[in-house]
Structure 1
Amino acid sequence: MDLSIIDYVFLLSLLSIWSTLGLNIILAINGYIFYLKNLKFKDEKLDEYPFVSILVPAHNEGMVIGKTVESLLLLDYPIDKRELIVINDNSSDDSKDILQSIKNKYRNYNFTVINTDNITGGKGKSNALNIGYQIAKGDFIAIYDADNTPERTALRYLIQTIVRDDNLGAVIGKFRTRNKQRNILTKFINIETLSFQWIAQAGRKNLLGLCTIPGTNFVLRKTTIETLGGWDTKAIAEDTEISLRIYKMGQSITYVPQSVTWEQEPETINIWIKQRTRWVKGNIYVVVKYMKDIFKGKKNKAIFDILYFFSVYFLFLSSVVISDIIFILGLFNIVEVNIPFNFLIVWILSYILFILQVSITLSMEKGEGGLENIFLVALMYFTYSQMWLFVAIKGMIGYFKDVIYKREVKWYKTERF
């Protein structure tokens, strides 16, 4: 049977989709291996702890900043070996008053509040972090988002890991969904975040020695951030961008899932779309910025991550769109697909593969591998995952429109509840 151009395009798109699904299965299995290795984790305390500067960038976070700051002040870490710096970044709400009230309550703690205005601040998270780290006194910098409630041991576990390995430029912990029971959206997000961390963090760490800094609950060496010259203020996915630069300078990043922070996730579709669109635009910026390294033949671990993000945001996305369009046109006999196999079987297999890989990751979290979550995973394929397709297209179009019209990238701060 002679195949047409449409047939070849359809086959290539299916190959791309199945390659991505296959890669995620491999990463999920490696994530499980990483999980088994970490069952032997021991809380090996240090004889002496280094001084740590905890930075919290905050813009109009009055609704959540109080709980975050108090949880950070009460961490299980020597009080004389840490300082807390909150960068209240050009806020127009009551954040300043809330922070001052807490400062008065905890007078014996090393707690600094930097209040910026529309001249010195208001330029996004990267700029706020650059302001904070330049006055930090610690040998290590810890970063927490303004909506976080870290477990008391979170910081100590990260520090105990990084000080024992001079090759580590940064060490990351795990983030969990604090408001997962709010509605079905937050339940989906809870499953997504757990799946991402066990696949993309633990899986890549076990398989390739790679993981990516998240936006919160991580520690890096001050000498590392000074060598890098701070955070890239043009990057709205500053965590991904700085991860690649750390690898390029020859240092490593590791993952400590025992270090846990709980964060608030979007509770409405509109806010979720805005947040995820920012993520997509930010990651595309990183891919475009570092793609030249591949063609220059530079040998560093960052190349694997560049290819990974490229495959997710370009190859996989375009393949799904192309295959869906051809499939729909074929149903209406507008185009004819002459490939001799049953597409229904292919779709059912991909659906089973999706449920399998996510279920593997949920089995690694206590209380998350039950029948309710398995049912939600099956439902996610038709709902939440399709929303991600919309967001990815929206973010990609937004990124290239910003480039074409030379618009300054705006950092969208997730609204709180």
Structure 2
Amino acid sequence: MFNDISQTIIYISLFFSLYFEVFLLITYFEKRPLLRQESIQQDLARFPTVTVIVPCFNEETTIPKTIFSLLRLDYPKDKLDIIIVDDGSVDGTLRALHRFKNNSRVRVYSKPNGGKHTALNYGLQYVESELVGCLDADSFVEPGTLKTILKYFNDSETMAVTPAVRVYKPRTVIELIQKVEYTWGIFYRKMLHFLGAIFVTPGPFTIYRTEVFRKIGDYRHAHLTEDLELALRMQTNRLKIVNAHNAYVHTVVPKTLRSLYKQRLRWTYGFLNNSLDYKFLIFNKRYGNIGFYVLPMAIISIFSSILLLLILTSTNIARAYDGLIKFITVGPDLGFSFDWFFVHTSPSLFLTVFSVGLIVSILVLARRMTEGRFHFSLDLFYFLFLYGLIVPFWISHALFNTVFSRKTTWR
């Protein structure tokens, strides 16, 4: 009975996985001419005024580099305003910001700690520019990134443009895994761009028309994922979000498994709770691909990963128990047999291998899209063989916290 149920769950999970991967590949090849066209550098017809808000809390080691990256942007100085909002830091962040006090392009404000969304809203009250963006205090923009993003605003319907986020100088195994994950994310977000279904406007340098906040309101607490909630609110109000796949921003990522776990627990918890807040989007054809396809697939993938973890755990426990009983009753079995002419033909194994092959294909395309070429390296190996083993744990934890109304903290 258990085997039948577990096999059914495995086949259903593999079906959705394969469907999702094939759908992404079809979207890519169908939209590749548009992708090439977007990659052609274009001169800006005009230079709109832009304000970038940098919220920071205990970021003394990275905030100077973040500000310098903004000051080095290839953009007219009189058109760019930089607002730094310290959210009650208790380390040396304010001392680090003191060096910019005489820079006319940088305005520094300090307020009591209230959370990232309050720091962003504090900065918004000083914005008078046509466009406004957010940059996390642990992220750094390339000089040409702003111009690349702004060309997408030539379309008067575009209300927000998300960048391509890369990992800054990955060294540890955990960072290298995230490097591949972020490369996948660049590809995935661009496919969502073509589907009109972007559901996160990430903190590292998403640029908005200022009128967005006048139309739909300021940032919200949003279960500590204000960037996800704002994107869902924009989609609900039919405000167009696009992606600039070649506008690069580099971000510092967690270096240890513990810090990665806490970050992803917060992200997954935020997604689940914001999905509940915007449950009217799910399977709602009125909201296009985001409601009828993208959000349901994301939710299905979450529950599938949890069920597969439970099946894998229970199966291994059962095998270990059977092995122990066999050892107690008949002693150790040191025999080993191998048959060159035997091939395991389990359909689930075949489909799993096929699914992994599609994932590798997507990663090859993603690397070519972001780096111009594909090269095999250890980070790809780490991602394929380790990432899937750890993801279900923070997903399960986030679901537990959601079901039992347990709060998730930032750090």
| Superposition TM-score tier, normalisation by shorter sequence | 0.7 to 0.9
Aligned residue in 2 for 1:169: 159
Q: Using the alignment, how far apart are the partners of 2:98 and 2:29 within structure 1?
A: 45
Matches within 5 A, 1:348-363: 348-363=353-368
- When residues 215 and 20 of structure 1 are mapped into structure 2, their CA distance, relative to the original with a 3 A threshold, is farther
Q: Which residues of structure 1 form unaligned runs of 5+?
A: 335-339, 413-417
Structure 1 residue 116 displacement after superposition: 0.8
Q: Using the alignment, how far apart are the partners of 2:301 and 2:348 within structure 1?
A: 23
The answer to whether residue 255 in structure 2 is matched with residue 233 in structure 1 is: no
Aligned residue in 1 for 2:127: 136
Match of 1:49 among 47, 54, 65: 47
Q: Using the alignment, how far apart are the partners of 1:28 and 1:240 within structure 2?
A: 25
Aligned residue in 2 for 1:306: 295
Does the CA contact (< 8 Å) of 1:68 and 1:149 recur in 2? yes
The answer to whether residue 389 in structure 2 is matched with residue 386 in structure 1 is: yes
- When residues 378 and 30 of structure 1 are mapped into structure 2, their CA distance, relative to the original with a 3 A threshold, is farther
Aligned residue in 1 for 2:151: 160
- When residues 129 and 285 of structure 1 are mapped into structure 2, their CA distance, relative to the original with a 3 A threshold, is same
Structure 1 residue 93 displacement after superposition: 1.2
The answer to whether residue 254 in structure 2 is matched with residue 280 in structure 1 is: no
Structure 1 residue 29 displacement after superposition: 4.6
Q: Using the alignment, how far apart are the partners of 1:346 and 1:262 within structure 2?
A: 36
Does the CA contact (< 8 Å) of 1:147 and 1:264 recur in 2? yes
Other structure's SS at 1:260 match: strand
Does the CA contact (< 8 Å) of 1:65 and 1:146 recur in 2? yes
Other structure's SS at 1:390 match: helix
Q: Using the alignment, how far apart are the partners of 2:149 and 2:352 within structure 1?
A: 42
Q: Deviations over 1:98-120 (max 9, x none)?
A: 1121232x3xx332111012xxx
Does the CA contact (< 8 Å) of 1:173 and 1:257 recur in 2? yes
The answer to whether residue 369 in structure 2 is matched with residue 372 in structure 1 is: no
Structure 1 residue 193 displacement after superposition: 0.3
Q: Using the alignment, how far apart are the partners of 1:112 and 1:245 within structure 2?
A: 29
Q: Which amino acid aligns with 1:166?
A: S
Structure 1 residue 54 displacement after superposition: 0.5
Structure 1 residue 362 displacement after superposition: 2.3
Does the CA contact (< 8 Å) of 1:31 and 1:204 recur in 2? no
Q: Deviations over 1:83-141 (max 9, x none)?
A: 1001111001111121121232x3xx332111012xxxx22211211111122111211
- When residues 67 and 39 of structure 1 are mapped into structure 2, their CA distance, relative to the original with a 3 A threshold, is same
Q: Using the alignment, how far apart are the partners of 1:198 and 1:247 within structure 2?
A: 20
Other structure's SS at 2:42 match: coil
Aligned residue in 1 for 2:81: 83
Structure 1 residue 9 displacement after superposition: 5.0
Structure 1 residue 364 displacement after superposition: 2.3
Q: Which residues of structure 2 form unaligned runs of 5+?
A: 323-344
Q: TM-score, normalised by structure 2?
A: 0.85
Q: Using the alignment, how far apart are the partners of 1:73 and 1:307 within structure 2?
A: 41
Q: Using the alignment, how far apart are the partners of 2:64 and 2:155 within structure 1?
A: 34
The structure with the largest alpha-carbon Rg is 2
Matches within 5 A, 1:5-404: 6-31=3-28, 34=31, 37-40=34-37, 41-104=39-102, 106=103, 109-117=104-112, 122-162=113-153, 164-180=154-170, 182-199=171-188, 201-206=189-194, 208-211=195-198, 212-294=200-282, 297=284, 299-301=286-288, 302-303=290-291, 304-314=293-303, 316-325=304-313, 327-328=315-316, 331=319, 341=346, 343-366=348-371, 369-373=374-378, 376-401=379-404, 403=405
Aligned residue in 2 for 1:415: none
Structure 1 residue 327 displacement after superposition: 3.9
Q: Using the alignment, how far apart are the partners of 2:175 and 2:84 within structure 1?
A: 27
Other structure's SS at 2:247 match: strand
Q: TM-score, normalised by structure 1?
A: 0.84
Does the CA contact (< 8 Å) of 1:16 and 1:319 recur in 2? no
Structure 1 residue 366 displacement after superposition: 2.0
Other structure's SS at 1:113 match: strand
Does the CA contact (< 8 Å) of 1:28 and 1:360 recur in 2? no
Q: Using the alignment, how far apart are the partners of 2:265 and 2:313 within structure 1?
A: 23
Structure 1 residue 32 displacement after superposition: 5.6
- When residues 355 and 161 of structure 1 are mapped into structure 2, their CA distance, relative to the original with a 3 A threshold, is closer
Q: How many residues align?
A: 385
Other structure's SS at 2:132 match: strand
Q: Deviations over 1:160-197 (max 9, x none)?
A: 211x11211211111111122x1222111111100122
- When residues 270 and 333 of structure 1 are mapped into structure 2, their CA distance, relative to the original with a 3 A threshold, is closer
Does the CA contact (< 8 Å) of 2:306 and 2:392 recur in 1? no
Structure 1 residue 271 displacement after superposition: 1.1
Share of identical aligned residues, percent?
22
